[in-house]
Amino acid sequence: MEVAAWPERPALSGFSVGTGTLGLAGQWLIISSLRLQIAYDYEAEISDDEIAYESRSI
Protein backbone atom coordinates (compact mmCIF):
# COMPACT_ATOMS: atom_id res chain seq x y z
CA MET A 1 0.00 0.00 0.00
CA GLU A 2 3.00 2.29 0.46
CA VAL A 3 3.63 2.29 -3.29
CA ALA A 4 -0.01 3.17 -4.06
CA ALA A 5 0.39 6.57 -2.34
CA TRP A 6 3.43 7.49 -4.47
CA PRO A 7 1.59 8.82 -7.61
CA GLU A 8 -0.55 11.15 -5.46
CA ARG A 9 2.46 13.33 -4.72
CA PRO A 10 3.17 16.25 -7.07
CA ALA A 11 5.67 15.40 -9.80
CA LEU A 12 8.35 17.80 -8.55
CA SER A 13 8.37 16.59 -4.93
CA GLY A 14 8.18 13.00 -6.13
CA PHE A 15 11.20 13.67 -8.32
CA SER A 16 13.23 15.27 -5.54
CA VAL A 17 12.28 12.57 -3.01
CA GLY A 18 13.03 9.85 -5.56
CA THR A 19 16.50 11.15 -6.34
CA GLY A 20 17.35 12.31 -2.81
CA THR A 21 20.22 14.76 -2.37
CA LEU A 22 20.94 14.88 -6.09
CA GLY A 23 17.35 15.99 -6.72
CA LEU A 24 17.60 18.73 -4.11
CA ALA A 25 20.87 19.95 -5.61
CA GLY A 26 19.28 19.86 -9.07
CA GLN A 27 16.29 21.85 -7.84
CA TRP A 28 18.61 24.40 -6.22
CA LEU A 29 20.51 24.79 -9.48
CA ILE A 30 17.28 25.22 -11.45
CA ILE A 31 15.87 27.74 -8.97
CA SER A 32 19.11 29.74 -8.74
CA SER A 33 19.48 29.81 -12.52
CA LEU A 34 15.88 31.01 -12.83
CA ARG A 35 16.60 33.75 -10.30
CA LEU A 36 19.69 34.78 -12.24
CA GLN A 37 17.66 34.90 -15.46
CA ILE A 38 14.97 37.04 -13.81
CA ALA A 39 17.60 39.36 -12.32
CA TYR A 40 19.30 39.65 -15.70
CA ASP A 41 16.02 40.47 -17.43
CA TYR A 42 15.25 43.05 -14.74
CA GLU A 43 18.67 44.68 -15.15
CA ALA A 44 18.18 44.71 -18.93
CA GLU A 45 14.83 46.48 -18.51
CA ILE A 46 16.39 49.09 -16.23
CA SER A 47 19.26 49.77 -18.62
CA ASP A 48 16.82 50.07 -21.54
CA ASP A 49 14.77 52.59 -19.54
CA GLU A 50 17.90 54.56 -18.64
CA ILE A 51 18.95 54.67 -22.28
CA ALA A 52 15.49 55.81 -23.32
CA TYR A 53 15.48 58.48 -20.60
CA GLU A 54 18.90 59.78 -21.60
CA SER A 55 17.93 59.96 -25.27
CA ARG A 56 14.74 61.86 -24.35
CA SER A 57 16.62 64.36 -22.22
CA ILE A 58 18.98 65.21 -25.10
Q: What is the 3-state secondary structure (H, E, C) of 10-43?
A: CHHHHHHHHHCHHHHHHHHHHHHHHHHHHHHHHH
In a domain, 40, yes or no: yes
The Cα diameter of the chain in Å comes to 72
Query: What is the total count of domains within the chain?
Result: 1
In a domain, 43, yes or no: yes
37-49 mean pLDDT: 70
Whether residue 33 contacts residue 26, with contact meaning beta carbons closer than 8 Å, is answered with no
In a domain, 46, yes or no: yes
8-27 mean pLDDT: 57
In a domain, 37, yes or no: yes
Between 18 and 40, whose confidence is greater?
A: 40
In a domain, 7, yes or no: no
Round the average pLDDT of the chain to a whole number and report it: 63
Report the range of poorest mean pLDDT among 4-8, 22-26, 39-43, 52-56. Answer: 4-8
In a domain, 26, yes or no: no
Whether residue 17 contacts residue 9, with contact meaning beta carbons closer than 8 Å, is answered with yes
In a domain, 1, yes or no: no
Predicted TM-score (pTM) of this structure: 0.32
- Structural domain range at position 46: 32-58
